[in-house]
Structure 1
Amino acid sequence: MEQLALDSTAQQARATRQRFGALLEAHRGIVFKVANTYCRNPDDRDELAQEIATQLWRAYPGYDPQRAFPTWMYRIALNVAISHARGDGRRRRHAVPLDDAVHEPVGDDGDGFEVDDQVRALQRFIAALDHFNRALLLLYLEEHSYREIAEILGISETNVATKISRLKQRIRQELA
């Protein structure tokens, strides 16, 4: 009888690992987007991605399947990245340009230099943001709804709208 209980427990653990592995694989882009946003150095990005995956696994038993997995995943990943960046900031400062995260050429609207300059200016703006606003802008640029952003960041939808409006205004002022 005791052996049956052990076999059943082992099967449940294996099934849980398989479910988690499938979910992580299906949404692995989230891990890499967050790691790319918070780390410049490739080794640091790899370390952060591994730490995010580890923390996701540790938190997985508390995941509520009634909630969207990507939303839950973003929340964990951003919290880990912010904690990592705070700790890393004590050792060294890393600003994260988006061109390290995006490996495709910048579009050309007939005046490629101006577009490149605008993109670089936006990258510098994003890199200078505090961790919370960087996460907020990342989610907004990925076209998440205000409701999703609010749930991920743990703030109200009204607060999301206000903060995004203020960020847009700052972008217009600083990049004009």
Structure 2
Amino acid sequence: MDSIEQVFLASIEEHKGILYKLSKIYMDDTLDQEDLYQEMVFQLWRSYGSFKGDSKFSTWMYRVALNTALVYVKKDQRKLKAGYLMENHDVADESDHEQKEERLTYFYKAVKELNEIEKAVIFLFLEGLSHREISVQLGISEGNARVKLARTKEKLQEIIKKQGYEF
């Protein structure tokens, strides 16, 4: 039978992409990303006893890791980073790779201007979570999640237009 530590480590390994993405979103420097990643794993381990299995492990992990990242950023007052939000998200069915890269560059630059909560909302949206799931992750109402997502999308479009590029 597996020990608690082995089960925890296997679950972390299975869902480590969540932690990598969050660390890249919130931290610029590679070393800072690694520090945040370690802090998220530490906080997940500290909180593991409270995981009752009422939800999927990944759902619980999102919430703990996101809250850890938000606290970590506020505590350290480090420069925020939009990061690699769209790892598995197609921007469009474009055949021209350069144009797609240009669009991603503008998108990343725009995301850097969002606040922590807006980054979290857009990250969760790009991960394919529904309004309801976003609300659970952020501890807000579903209606509030819907409004925050719509406003964040509008804000991103405005920032991108100011940069001189339109999708």
- Normalising by structure 2, what TM-score? 0.83
- Computed over aligned residues only, the root mean square deviation of the Cα atoms, in angstroms, reads 2.4
Distance 1:85-1:111 versus aligned 2 partners, 3 A rule: same
Letter in 2 for 1:117: E
1:88 to 2:73 alignment: no
Task: Give 2:126's match in structure 1, choosing from 116, 141, 162.
Answer: 141
Q: Percent identity?
A: 32
Q: Would you say the 8 A contact 1:97–1:124 is kept in 2?
A: no
Matching residue of 2:22: 34
Q: CA deviation at 1:69?
A: 1.0
Q: How does 1:71-86 map to 2 (within 5 A)?
A: 71-86=59-74
Residue 116 of structure 1 corresponds to 101
CA–CA separation in structure 1 for the residues paired with 2:57 and 2:3: 17
Gaps of 5+ in 2: 162-167
Matches within 5 A, 1:1-176: 15-89=3-77, 92-98=78-84, 109=94, 113-176=98-161
| TM-superposed deviation, 1:111 | 5.3
Larger Rg: 1
Query: Contact 1:118–1:175 (CA<8 Å) still a contact in 2?
Result: no
CA gap 1:22/1:168 in 2 versus in 1, 3 angstroms: same
Greater share of helix residues, 1 or 2?
1
Instruction: Tell me how far apart the structure 1 counterparts of residues 5 and 25 of structure 2 sit (CA, whole Å).
Output: 28
Q: Secondary structure at the match of 1:98?
A: coil
Distance 1:149 1:107, change over 3 A: closer
Letter in 1 for 2:71: S
Instruction: Write the distance in 2 (CA, Å) between the matches of 1:151 and 1:119.
Output: 28
How many corresponding residue pairs? 158
Which structure 1 segments of 5+ residues have no match? 1-10
